[in-house]
Every structure is written in C-alpha cells, then in structure tokens.
Structure 1
Amino acid sequence: MANRFRPEDLSCPLSTTLRHVGEWWTLLILHDAFDGYTRFDEFQRNLKISSSMLTTRLRTLVEDGLLERTQYQEKPARYEYVLTELGRSLRPVIVTLAAWGNERLPAGERTMILVEAESGDEVEPVVVDRASGRRVDGPEYVFTAGPAASEAMRRRYEPPRTR
C-alpha cells in the first residue's frame, strides 16, 4: 500500500491535510467508513455519488494510506474498503468538523449529533492540550515555526520586532 504523505509535504500541516482530505467527497466517504460502511455499493447508495467519482476518491484514499482495499469475493471480484490506523486517526477531525457545523444551527435543525454510546447523552467535543487538559482554541495558543520549518515558515512566525 502506497502512502502519499511525504516528508516534503511537512512544510505546512494545514495544506498537507487539505491536500489529502479537503475534497468534499473524501470527508463524506471517511464519515461513512467511520459509520461502518465498507463496500462500494454501500458508499454509493448512501452518498448518491457517481461511480466514477467514487472510484476516483476510493483509489486516492487507498493510495494515501487512509483506507485499505481488500477482496472479499472472487467471482466476480468484489472489494471492501476498511479504515487503516492512519484513517482512523482522522476521527477527531471529522467529529470536530461536524460539531463546528452543528454549533451554527438551531438545535431543532441538526440532522446528526454526537452522543455517548452507552447513555445516549449528547456531547460537545472540544480540542484540548493532552498534557494540561486546557482548551486550545483561545488566543493564548498560537502557531510557531517547528524544527523542520522552511525559511519562509520561520519568517512567517518570527516574533514581531519592537521599535
């Protein structure tokens, strides 16, 4: 299985991520995969996506290492698409995107909500720092150049000069 995440992509983690999962159908296919869909016809029926678009998107997801294609039937040859570990690692991103969308809708207009499986209680996901448990969406958290940053990235995040 080829994995198209390359070291040269690391110049900007946002552009790298969007290059791999920023296309509309890609996120919807991944969402369906998290809901247990694995077969071409399941994805197509649920998403109402054209065969050619679904074929292209699934091929890309396999090439990127987010899904694994395995044969489940020989005659005729049939395949299923299962999330890889890398693909499963995108679940928090999908959950957060859905929550962001729901925050902008009146409660009665939400078509899908996140709940705790056992209790059925609705939950509100937030992004927190693993070490401190503090939310990281406030102004006290900022991006800065990382150890592998290009010169352009370092210039972008250099501290402002004092006059």
Structure 2
Amino acid sequence: MEKIQNRYLSEILQYKKGAKPPKKTGQLYQVVPRQFTRLVCDVGFQRIFSNPKDPKYGPGIYFTDSPRRALEVFQTPKEESGLIYIFQAEVLIENPVQGKRDLPVLVPKTAFLQSKPDNILDLCDSLVNVGLSPTLYVIPDSFQANPLYLFTFRQQGSGSTRI
C-alpha cells in the first residue's frame, strides 16, 4: 500500500467539494495498468488509463465501491509479475443519476426536473448503475477524483486474486 499525496489534485477536489451547499464524496476504487500508476499519481484519473470490461454508461471515468468489485468491472492487465494495481480515491458523487447506455456523462439536472431550472448548466456529478445502492460510478472529468492510496495485489495461481 502506498499513500498518494498530490497537493494540487487534493486542492481542486476540496474546492469542488466546498461549493455551496457542500458536496458529498465517497471512497471508490479503480484498477489501473502498471504503466499508468505514476501518471494517475501526477495528473489524476483519465479515461485512457483504465477501461471497464463493459463501458455501458458511456465515455467517462469508472469507479467501483470495493476493490473486489473493481476486479470484476475493469479489464485486469496481464502482467508477467502477476501484480494488480488498484487505486482508492476520494470521488465527488453528489447528485448521481442512474446511467443508461445512450446517456451522455454530462447530464443536466434539468433533464430530471418538472419545473424550469435556475441554471441550465447545473450538471449531475456522476452516473451510477442503480439508483438506491450503487456499486458503479462514472464521472465526467478527472478533477472530481483525488487518488489517496495505491494497493498492489498478486494474482494467485489460475487467475484468482486475493483481496
């Protein structure tokens, strides 16, 4: 386990989180190939660094609610060493909307309101796989996530991984 400290990414997320009213964050996980781990630490999460097996909620940055689920959702890179890299991140998850295959990642809250909105540019912060107890989150931009820890796991025997 490696603690990640990137002052700039942390300050950007704190700024976004501190909006009025304050926004909610969650501790979420993402599998990243070894060659991108330093880049995530330096510049944050990007779509090209990690690919879900089924990107059914469109082009965004995917996260899961547990490391075990991350192994199910993301393509696990075949490393000669058998190592798997999972980031834990603080992710802005306020105002989630249940995602659909044809729904864009940037969804205006107005699409779900019956009345005229105050601000047409007021967007939902994330898409989720289910409404009540989501296990998968998709965010539109890297500034909604701050990497906190990098966990390294070794794949056991015939492809199984112990967490």
Task: Indicate the TM-score class for this superposition, using the shorter chain for normalisation.
Answer: under 0.3
Bigger share in strand: 2
Name whichever structure is richer in helix by fraction. 1
Give the TM-score taking structure 2 as reference length: 0.27
User: Whose radius of gyration is greater, 1 or 2?
Assistant: 1
